[in-house]
Amino acid sequence: MNDYLQNITPDSFSGIVFGLEGLSNTIVLINGPTGCKFYHAATSDNQSIKQLQFDSLNYPEQWYFGQPRVPCTYLDKRDYVYGSKDKIIEALNFFKENINFDMLCIVNSPGASLIGDDLKGITEGLCENLPCVLIQTPGYSKTVCEGFEAAMIQLFSQFLEQGWLKKDLKNEKERNRSSQKTVNLIGLSILHKYVEGDVKELTRLLNLCGIQVNAVLACNLTMKQLERVGEADLNIVIHAEYGLRTAEYLKEAFGTFYYLCQGMPVGFKATEDFLRGIVKALGADERNMSSVVEESERARARAYVYLSRLNSLTGLPKGVRFAIEGTWSECYSYVTFLVEYFGMAAESISVLNASWDSGHMEEKLRDFLRLHQMEEALERNILETSSELVLANANTIAKLKLRGLIFSGIEISLPSMGYIDVIPKTHVGISGALLLSEQVINGMMF
């Protein structure tokens, strides 16, 4: 129970589905009842819009039930006795005859896996000449991070076994060695609130350093990009809980070394350190950093103007207490920026999925808090906070608002209140540091 708050949080099953939903032009079929479908389909479509208008006549087929993503086999009590073979075969035949797709993924729901539905045996012969991922078990009572990583590892291991990916890419890497350095971004997903903006900002900054992004796991990842994953010079793990195990697997499979971020690049200094570390790891010319440093200095100057005006009127945000909820990586990244840059104080830190591998982020956060005499923040539950600023998902913010507390909330993860981001936003990189500065300043004024 330490991995979960009192509101609803996704588990391993959701991590698997959302991980595979990050593949482009892919059908992710849940072998389970309709109750396992609606949340995942709605969240996926909100993060990567496929249906341009809400029309009850769109996607009327019995597997889609009016939603364009995450079809299901709508298992009922009869299927839990006799098995789901007939419905899976019927669904696969429909997809192959009526839908244009590049990859197929089938995920057993908890109930389907408990009755022993053998996806490999059922689909044998039906998935020839078709890249297909079969997830037999959803990982009972495991964290969403574990499910996401399991999905990514199964994707690569099964595609290698099926021959859709090549393991020996020595010749391709030799040809690319003299050209522009390329990297894969790992640990980003449609589970993350600002994923589209995150990818754009990280890609932009890396390009400024003369580095090309080869593929992003798993955000609109195409089959062509999947085939080239092993050709990258370096894998960059942005979010340790969602990418460290995958990076270790890819190192073993393709021999590609990985760079583990010391927390997500949240803030000006963290962004500069992040890019400087990658440039060094690739053996690239450090002079490529000059344009990024110049942009970062201009952004710092812009943020300072507004922070200075706020401080001259109110003395804020220095000394303001804040609370945060997230993984070890998320908490470390936001806490260090808020404390070091704004002079704020961590009052409560609630860690989600705390038992999963954080790549030493737990130790780094604890060391940072100890240095600033804020260790007790880890002992205070966010649902009991009295902080003036709360960084969390909308469920937690709403619950605190219902208690009548007076504070400003900043959403840093899903679910959200439903605000539509027409312009892609981010909390990472230089643009992210400016947005977060804007949200903190406005949070103090209103």
In a domain, 2, yes or no: no
In a domain, 328, yes or no: yes
Q: What is the pLDDT along the chain (446 residues), one digit of tens a residue?
A: 455 445 567 899 999 999 999 999 999 999 999 999 999 999 999 888 887 877 767 888 889 998 999 999 999 999 988 889 999 999 999 999 999 999 999 999 998 998 888 899 999 888 888 999 999 998 888 999 999 999 999 999 999 999 999 887 655 656 555 568 999 999 999 989 999 999 999 999 999 999 999 999 989 999 999 999 999 999 999 999 999 999 999 999 999 999 999 899 999 999 999 999 999 999 988 888 999 999 999 999 999 999 999 999 899 999 999 999 999 999 999 999 999 999 999 999 999 998 887 889 999 999 999 999 999 999 999 988 999 999 999 999 999 999 888 999 999 999 999 899 999 999 999 999 999 999 999 999 87
In a domain, 1, yes or no: no
Taking phi over 0 as left and psi of -120 to 50 as alpha, with beta for the rest, 59 belongs to left
* Whether residues 275 and 382 fall in one domain: no
- Count of CA atoms in the C-beta half-sphere (13 A) of 249: 18
* Whether residues 45 and 184 fall in one domain: no
In a domain, 22, yes or no: yes
Report the distance separating Cα 106 and Cα 139, nearest Å.
Answer: 15
Q: Which domain holds residue 431?
A: 292-445
* Whether residues 106 and 186 fall in one domain: no
Q: Helix (H, G, I), strand (E, B), or coil: what is residue 246?
A: helix
Taking phi over 0 as left and psi of -120 to 50 as alpha, with beta for the rest, 187 belongs to left
- Note the pLDDT of residue 97: 93
Residue 218: its H or E element: none
* Whether residues 255 and 353 fall in one domain: no
* Whether residues 354 and 418 fall in one domain: yes
* Whether residues 30 and 158 fall in one domain: yes
In a domain, 3, yes or no: no
- Note the pLDDT of residue 302: 97
Tokens of 35: 């109750």
Report which of 242, 215, 219 is spatially closest to residue 227, judged by C-alpha positions.
215
* Whether residues 431 and 317 fall in one domain: yes
Q: Which residues lie closer than 8 Å to 413 by C-beta, 6 or more apart?
A: 192, 193, 325, 326, 330, 392, 393
Residue 317 preceded by cis peptide, ω within 30: yes
- Note the pLDDT of residue 115: 86
In a domain, 6, yes or no: no
- Give the single-character DSSP code of 380: S
Out of 141, 162, 183, a domain closes at 162
- Note the pLDDT of residue 169: 64
* Whether residues 267 and 300 fall in one domain: no
* Whether residues 274 and 358 fall in one domain: no
- Note the pLDDT of residue 5: 47
Give DSSP secondary structure letters for 176-200: HTTS-EEEEEES--TTSTTHHHHHH
- Note the pLDDT of residue 173: 57
Report the distance separating Cα 81 and Cα 66, nearest Å.
Answer: 27
In a domain, 433, yes or no: yes
* Whether residues 296 and 427 fall in one domain: yes
With contact defined as beta carbons under 8 Å apart, do 413 and 192 qualify? yes
Q: What is the CATH number of the domain that holds 41?
A: 3.40.50.1980
For 141, phi and psi rounded to 5 degrees?
60, 20
With contact defined as beta carbons under 8 Å apart, do 428 and 195 qualify? no
* Whether residues 156 and 18 fall in one domain: yes
Number of domains, the chain: 3
3-state secondary structure 290-314: HHHHHHHHHHHHHHHHHHHHHHHHH
Assessment of whether the complete model's pTM goes beyond 0.75: yes
For 213, phi and psi rounded to 5 degrees?
-85, 120
Out of 105, 136, 162, a domain closes at 162
In a domain, 88, yes or no: yes
* Whether residues 176 and 265 fall in one domain: yes
Report which of 379, 380, 375, 321 is spatially closest to residue 345, judged by C-alpha positions.
321
Out of 145, 162, 179, a domain closes at 162
